[in-house]
Chains A and B, each alone.
Chain A
Amino acid sequence: MKVEIAGENAIIIYFGEVADPLVSAQVQLAAARLEAVMADTLIDMVPSYASLMVIYDQYKTDHFAVRRHIRETLQQLGDVTQQEGSVIALPVYYSSESGPDLEDLARRAQLSVDEVIKIHSGMEYRVYAIGFAPGFAFLGEVDPRIAAPRLSTPRLKVPRGAVAIADRQTAVYPSVSPGGWNLIGLCPTPMFNPKASPSMPVKVGDSVRFSAIDRSEFLALGGEL
C-alpha cells in the first residue's frame, strides 16, 4: 500500500494496481473506518478501483493528523473477505433496437447475439467505482470473450438506461450523455434520481446481476424506446 499527496487538502491511498475484488473490498473497509475516525474533519471521499482519495478540512485538521489516521486504519485493517455488499438485479432489454452495437460486437467476438446476451447476463459484476457522471457505476469485470474496445468516434448522445461495454467494464448510462462505449441494450431501472433517497440503486462494493427481458416487459417496466 502506498500513501501519496493528491492536493492541498487531499491524500490518496493506493491499495493495488489492478481491478480486483479483494482490493476493492479493502478500499471499502478502509473508507468506512476512516469516515468514522475522521468525523467532521472529513470533507469527502472518492473510492475507486484500487484507491481511496480522502479530502479533509485543512482548517480543522492537518495532513500529519490525517496521515496518522490513515496509517492506523491501514494497520488495523486485518483480513478482508471478498463480499459484504448487496446484490442488485437489473433487467435489460437486449436487442439491436435497444442496443445498436450488439450485432457488431457479436460479429467481432465470433459469437451469436444470444451467446453475447447469455455471457453478459450470466455473471455477477462488482461496482468498482462511481463517477464520470452522477450515478454512473463502473461494473467489472466483463468476460474477456465479450470485451470490446471503445468506439473510435464517441456518440454525442447515448440514451438514458443504455447498457454498455468498454474493454472489460460494463455500465448503465444514468442519463443522456455523450459516450464511446458499445451499446448492447436498455435497462428500465432508473440509475440516478436526485429526488429519491437513496438516489442510486447501487453503491461501490455492491454487486449487479443483469437479467434479459423482452420488449413488452421492458415497456411494462416503464422503459422508453
Chain B
Amino acid sequence: MSGFLVKQPGLLTLIQDGGRYGHHRIGLTNGGPLDADAFKWANRLCENDLNATALEISIGGLVLEAQVDTILAVTGAHMPFKINGQEAQRWQGHKIKAGDKIELGFTTAGTRAYLAVAGGFQMEKTFSSTATVTREAIGGLNGQKLQQGDILACKSHHTDTLWALPESEQPDYLQSATLRVILGYQQHSFDPVQQRLFFSSEYTLTDRADRMGFRLEGQRIQSMLDGILSEGICHGAIQIPADGQPIVLLNDRQTIGGYPKIGSVIARDTAKLSQRMPGTKLSFEEISLEQAHNINCLAERRFITTALQRIA
C-alpha cells in the first residue's frame, strides 16, 4: 500500500495511536502520545477517530514525500512546517497531492509535534494498538522509530472541506508549568515537612527525560522508606529514589517498580511537562481526587464543544 515515504526520519519520530491498554498483566506498558491533547487535535483536524494512528515527532527533522492525495495536519511543538518549500500553518488541515514534500524543521517552542492524515496511517496492531514502544520492540513498524525509506501506509482521501483550530485555543509551550498532583501511594512515608518542601520548591527539568520518565532536579525529598515491595506504577506517578530527586513516570514506564512514590501528576499536566525543554522551571501543586475529576471532565467537555473554524 502506498502512503508517505520517509525521506528523513528526524531525531525520534514514532508511530502512535491512543496507546495500548489492558496488557499490564504481561508487563506491557501503554505507549501512546506524550501530549494527548495535541495528538487528539491533529486527528480532529483530519476528521479522524481520536485514536487514529499518527506520528509523534520529537524535536524535529522529519521529511516525508506524499504518494497519495489526502488531508494532513500538524499540531504541537513549533516546528517550522513546509509543504513543497512553502511555509505552512500548523493547527489546520492542508490538502496534499501525491509528490508533495512535507518538512518539519527543528522546534523553537515545545518538544513534540503530531502529524495526522485523513483516515490515519494504516498499520497492523500488536496487542490491540499500533503505539510504538521501542524499549519493548512493539508496535509501529517492527517496534522501532521511523527509519529512512519506511513507507507509512494510508488511503487516499478527497474533500473540499478544511478545518483549523482558532489561535486562541492553541497552547503556549513557553509558559511555565505547574504540575497538579494527587497525593497517594506511600504519601505517608513523606512527613509533613517533606511534603511542604515538595510543594513549595521549584524544580528544574533535566535532560534525563525520555518517554519512560522525566527526571527533575531541586529540593531533595526524603521518604522514611528505602524501598518497597514492587507494585503497580500508574501514569504520572512521582517516584522518589534514594537521591531525593523526583522522577515523573510517563507512557513508556515499567509497569511495576519498588521506589516510594508521593503521588501522581494528572495526565493533562504530564502532557504540558512533556512539551517542556530541559532547564524549564516547574512546580507541583496538590489537588484532591475530586478536583482532578472536575478538571478532567471540564477539559473533556471543552474539547468536544470547541468549534473548529472552516477555512475551505
Contact = CB atoms under 8 A, between A and B. Distances in A.
A46 B184 CA distance: 16
Nearest to A18: B229
Contacts of A131: 24, 27, 230, 254-257
Interface in A122-138: 129-136, 138
Contacts of A58: 293, 296
A172 interface: no
A207 B267 CA distance: 37
Interface string B191-235: 000000000000000000000000000000000000001111111
Given A48-B256, A131-B254, A200 B229 contact: no
A130 B26 contact: yes
**Secondary structure type dominating chain B contacts:** mixed
A62 B24 contact: no
Contacts of B21: 43-44
A108 to B, nearest CB: 23
B183 interface: yes
A69 interface: no
Given A6-B237, A59-B300, A12 B26 contact: no
B266 interface: yes
B264 A6 contact: yes
Contacts of A52: 232
A203 B25 contact: yes
Listed residue (A46, A52, A136) with the most chain B CB atoms within 10 angstroms of its CB:
A46
Nearest to A57: B21
Contacts of A194: 126-127, 138
Interface string A47-72: 11111110100110011000000000
Nearest to A62: B293
Contact of A8 (B23, B255, B267): B267
A95 B108 CA distance: 55
Contacts of B26: 130, 134-135, 192, 199-200, 203
Interface string B266-307: 110000000000000000000001001100110010000000
B232 A51 contact: yes
B115 interface: no
Contacts of B127: 194, 199
B137 interface: yes
Interface residues of B, number: 42
Contact of A132 (B22, B27, B231): B27
Contacts of B138: 134, 194
Contacts of B231: 12, 46, 48-51, 53
B245 to A, nearest CB: 20
Contacts of B289: 5, 8, 63
Contact of B182 (A5, A46, A129, A200): A5
A53 B183 CA distance: 15
A136 B230 CA distance: 13
Nearest to B28: A134
A111 interface: no
B185 interface: yes
Contacts of B25: 44-47, 130, 203-204
Given A130-B26, A134-B27, A135-B26, A8 B232 contact: no
B186 to A, nearest CB: 8
Nearest to A131: B256
Contact of B136 (A4, A130, A134): A134
Given A130-B25, A132-B254, 4 more contacts: A4-B187, A5-B183, A6-B264, A131-B24
5 tightest Cβ-Cβ pairs between the two chains A and B = A53-B232, A46-B232, A7-B264, A131-B256, A5-B184
Interface of B: 21-28, 126-127, 135-138, 182-185, 187, 229-237, 254-257, 263-264, 266-267, 289, 292-293, 296-297, 300
6 contacts: A5-B182, A5-B185, A8-B289, A43-B21, A43-B22, A135-B26
